[in-house]
Amino acid sequence: MNPTTPSGTSVVRVEGDAPYDVVIGSHLGAELPRLVGDPTTKVLVISPPALAASAAVVRDDLVAAGHVVVLAEVPDAEAAKTAEVASACWRLLGQAEFTRSDVIVSLGGGATTDLAGFVASTWLRGVRVIHLPTTLLAMVDAAVGGKTGINTAEGKNLVGTFHPPVGVLCDLASLGTLPRDDFAAGLAEVIKCGFIADPEILALVEKDPGALADPATATGTHLRVLQELIERSVAVKARVVGEDLREAGLREILNYGHTFAHAIEQTEHFTWRHGAAVSVGMVFAAELARLAGRLGDDDVARHRSVLASVGLPVSYRADRWDQLHTAMRRDKKARGDLLRFVVLDGIGRPARLEGPDPSLLLAAYAAVGSDAPDAPLTPR
């Protein structure tokens, strides 16, 4: 732990060609100027309108440390991840004469993180980026690993780069005001890490799922459990991306549930929260693995029980197969007309399933399809 890091925090190291630390704790504001470094460094802070007050605090802290700071307010959620918004950020960088020694800071959820990372990776062929994730989903997923991206009309994250940050600050204090449904959406990625690599995560959630229902009440023991869940999830991702930054092989396991999830998001025009779609996507993948003879009934049932226990959906409407199938064929893991899925051969044993028979896909869809599906959390 860095000597300036507040007590009670934990640090997960992400190895690779450009190692960095993910700091997890409360009230980490003093860490940001340390990461930015030289007071002559200019900083562009990218954040959505809802975090305007927080962005102003970040600006004031950096200005007090001697930095020139430019604020870039971008749309909320997936609406930020467009070429037009990226271009507006590039325009600000050009007007402020940002050089390769300057830095971009993201403040917000996963979409803000994806956008900021993409802008940083493309400005002058790459400048430093620091992530300040404010949602659980961003802390355990988007902010760690260096994947950036924007969307096109044809699909999600089809344009992007690999650009690791120089540091990530996961301030648990920001979760206290997070709406319950946003928090639940983040738990989907936490639970995913349990299924693919760390069953202790599942045990922690199953022990007291009610304690995770409202982040505003996370104090004492509950806060320590939340911090452990985040630390374990980040550690899972750190181990994977440290070995496979560019998704050449191992990193694909982090996409468990995501092929079907991204199809839902596109079909629903991104009105579904990512975590809600991933929840249904994991159940779909589990059913597909069961039908292929690779996963037992009890493990499939565990998917439904642990996800439902924290308020996540486990079913989807039964009349959208054509749209979903078309969207899945555009998935980044597809190879030509060959659909490829991350599945489980058991809890903590991820594997691939390539080119499953169309009858298996339809049967898995029937298993999650419903004429009265679960609510997808509140719409965006």
Instruction: For 254-297, write each residue's pLDDT tens digit.
Output: 999 999 999 999 999 889 999 999 999 999 999 999 999 999 99
Mean pLDDT, contiguous 10-residue spans, the chain (380 residues): 62 90 91 94 97 96 96 94 97 97 96 97 97 95 91 87 95 87 92 96 90 66 85 93 66 92 92 94 98 97 96 95 91 69 96 93 95 75
- The pTM for the full model equals 0.89
pLDDT the model gives residue 287? 98
Instruction: For 31-40, write each residue's pLDDT tens digit.
Output: 999 999 999 9
Catalytic site residues? 125, 147, 189, 237, 247, 251, 255, 258, 262, 274
3-state secondary structure string across the chain: CCCCCCCCCEEEEECCCCCEEEEEECCCCCHHHHHHCCCCCEEEEEECHHHHHHHHHHHHHHHHCCCEEEEEECCCHHHHCCHHHHHHHHHHHHHCCCCCCCEEEEEECHHHHHHHHHHHHHHHHCCEEEEEECCHHHHHHHCCCCECCEEECCEEEEECCECCCCEEEEEHHHHHHCCHHHHHHHHHHHHHHHHHCCHHHHHHHHHCHHHHCCHHHCCHHHHHHHHHHHHHHHHHHHHHHHHCCCCCCHHHHHHCCHHHHHHHHHHCCCCCCHHHHHHHHHHHHHHHHHHCCCCCHHHHHHHHHHHHHCCCCCCEECCCHHHHHHHHHCCCCCECCECEEEEECCCCCEEEEECCCHHHHHHHHHHHEECCCCCCCCCC
pLDDT the model gives residue 2? 47
pLDDT the model gives residue 360? 96
pLDDT the model gives residue 246? 62
Q: How far apart are CA 324 and CA 329, in angstroms?
A: 9
Q: Tokens 């490829």 label which residue?
A: 340
- Tell me the domains of the chain and their CATH numbers: 10-178 (3.40.50.1970), 249-370 (1.20.1090.10)
pLDDT the model gives residue 248? 54
pLDDT the model gives residue 332? 58
